[in-house]
């Protein structure tokens, strides 16, 4: 059976259709989820896509965190539901306290869109199991507030527990501490990524196909998970 992966649309979500396309290209069935609907419609995993939910007003992700759908996502994530937050989705996961730390204004204060080299630092998450160890990949970044910060104890714990999912290499685009591009929760089912793997699923429209493995990984992970 094809895994069903929910893609949430908040007011101001922008990369929802791209995330759905990536799920489809990886062999999954994308399911549209609406911010005001607390029902997850039985999906096997959830993607919180990029964009500017609620215009990034107040703080990126701070309003979306209170959407009805997020109550369900937070509780299902506690039960092990795989959740991937991309860019604004990562910000929402931090605001929801599913992931530690925060995404702040880029050090250089500009929005920056570039093709970014990354090193995948762990394959022990629901979303990275399909990568080779320490794989080097190219995926677009595009954000104005992507500078990851956390207190030093949190950073130490993330490093020690191998919860840093991906790191910027060949240049840090936003000033993130420890070159962090993505992190996971301790169980490995919730992952936040600042770069956009859904924009790297087809060489025609992106810099590579490297992003596809995040979506393929979760499908593989779900096959191995008893229903």
Cβ-based nearer residue to another protein, 54 or 148: 54
**Quick one: which of 187, 164, 188 has its CA closest to 177?**
164
Cβ-based nearer residue to another protein, 64 or 73: 64
Cβ-based nearer residue to another protein, 57 or 66: 57
Q: Least distance from C-beta 193 to another protein, angstroms?
A: 14
Provide the β-strand partners of residue 46. Answer: 6, 83
Question: What are the Cα distances from residue 172, in Å, to 89, 181, 225?
Answer: 20, 9, 36
Q: Least distance from C-beta 71 to another protein, angstroms?
A: 19
Q: Least distance from C-beta 103 to another protein, angstroms?
A: 16
Cβ-based nearer residue to another protein, 4 or 24: 24
Give the residue numbers marked as catalytic: 87, 196, 198
Angle (CA) 19-174-169 rounded to 5° is 80
Q: Least distance from C-beta 156 to another protein, angstroms?
A: 33
Provide the β-strand partners of residue 116. Answer: 139
| Ranges assigned E (strand) in 102-213 | 102-104, 112-120, 136-143, 147-149, 164-168, 180-184, 190-193
Angle (CA) 159-107-65 rounded to 5° is 70
Q: Which residues bind another protein (CB under 8 A)?
A: 11-12, 14-15, 17-18, 21, 50-52, 54-57, 108, 110-114, 140, 142, 144, 196, 198-199, 204-206
């Amino acid at each position: 059976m094809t895994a069903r992966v929910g893609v949430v649309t908040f007011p101001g979500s922008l990369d929802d259709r791209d995330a759905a396309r990536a799920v489809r290209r990886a062999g999954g069935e994308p399911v549209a989820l609406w911010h005001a609907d607390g029902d997850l419609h039985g999906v096997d995993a959830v993607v919180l896509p990029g964009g500017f939910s609620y215009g990034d007003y107040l703080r990126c992700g701070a309003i979306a965190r209170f959407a009805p759908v997020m109550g369900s996502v937070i509780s299902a994530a506690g039960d092990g539901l795989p959740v991937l937050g991309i860019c604004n989705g990562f910000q929402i996961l931090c605001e929801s306290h599913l992931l530690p730390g925060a995404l702040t204004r880029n050090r250089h204060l500009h929005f920056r869109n570039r093709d970014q080299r990354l090193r995948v630092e762990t394959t022990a998450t629901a979303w990275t199991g399909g990568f080779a160890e320490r794989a080097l990949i190219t995926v677009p970044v595009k954000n104005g507030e992507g500078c990851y910060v956390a207190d030093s104890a949190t950073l130490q714990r993330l490093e020690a527990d191998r919860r840093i999912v991906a790191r910027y290499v060949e240049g840090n685009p936003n000033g993130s501490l420890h070159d962090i591009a993505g992190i996971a929760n301790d169980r490995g089912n919730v992952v936040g990524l600042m770069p956009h793997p859904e924009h790297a699923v087809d060489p025609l429209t992106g810099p590579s196909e490297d992003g596809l493995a995040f979506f393929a990984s979760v499908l593989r992970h779900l096959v191995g998970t008893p229903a």
